[in-house]
Amino acid sequence: MTRDRRGAALTHRIAALLLEYPTAELVAQVPTLRAVAPTPAFEPLLDHLVATPLEALTAEYVDTFDLHRKVCLHLTYYAYGDTRERGMALLAFKRAYRAAGLEVSADELPDHLCVVLEFSATEDVEVGTRLLLEHRAGLELLRLALVDRGSPWAAALTAVCSTLPALRGDEREAVARLAAEGPPGEQVGLEPYGAMAGMPR
């Protein structure tokens, strides 16, 4: 693996950890994560994790990721909302994982950003990066939404996006369109892909 790929894989691994629901175990890992992080982009979030009581961290995490349509960790939600087309997009993630010999548990949607980042970091950084690029507009919208909220978790998205090529013109337009319109709202055809518990409306 080249140095760039190793750096991307490590960045994705750290981001996957930091974007999960905060726990005491995660906070205890902050010194190690700080020591191995290949980019300083994580620093604001690492600082916040060690400076904030755990109860406040968990409440802030829920308020950030569970209550707002434009701050969602499920990548296909941005392009498809809760529509029939989203089911096919979720299948594409499952097929990519299955090709690497992995199966996502039935209670977890395969497009969750932490799942994608963990796959990229531990299994196949090229395929993981391709999945991120296929949903680049949603990823950037999530980053921008976190920046606009002044959220410390924006640091993790900034780090992830730094491992991807610069946005092209059409990608910038897609981000702007998503930001203006938001995800579609038709709610049909998703029964085989798991419950939508916790999804913002």
| Other beta carbons less than 10 A from residue 149's beta carbon | 15
Per-residue pLDDT of the chain (201 residues; tens, 9 = 90+): 677 999 999 999 999 999 999 999 999 999 999 999 999 999 999 999 999 999 999 999 999 998 777 789 999 998 888 788 899 999 999 999 999 999 888 888 999 999 999 999 999 999 999 999 999 988 998 999 999 999 999 999 999 999 999 877 777 777 777 667 766 664 443 333 333 233 332
Burial of 50 from C-beta contacts in 10 A (0-12 / 13-18 / 19+) = exposed
> Amino acid identity, residue 90?
L
Nearest to 109 by CA among 127, 130, 129, 82: 82
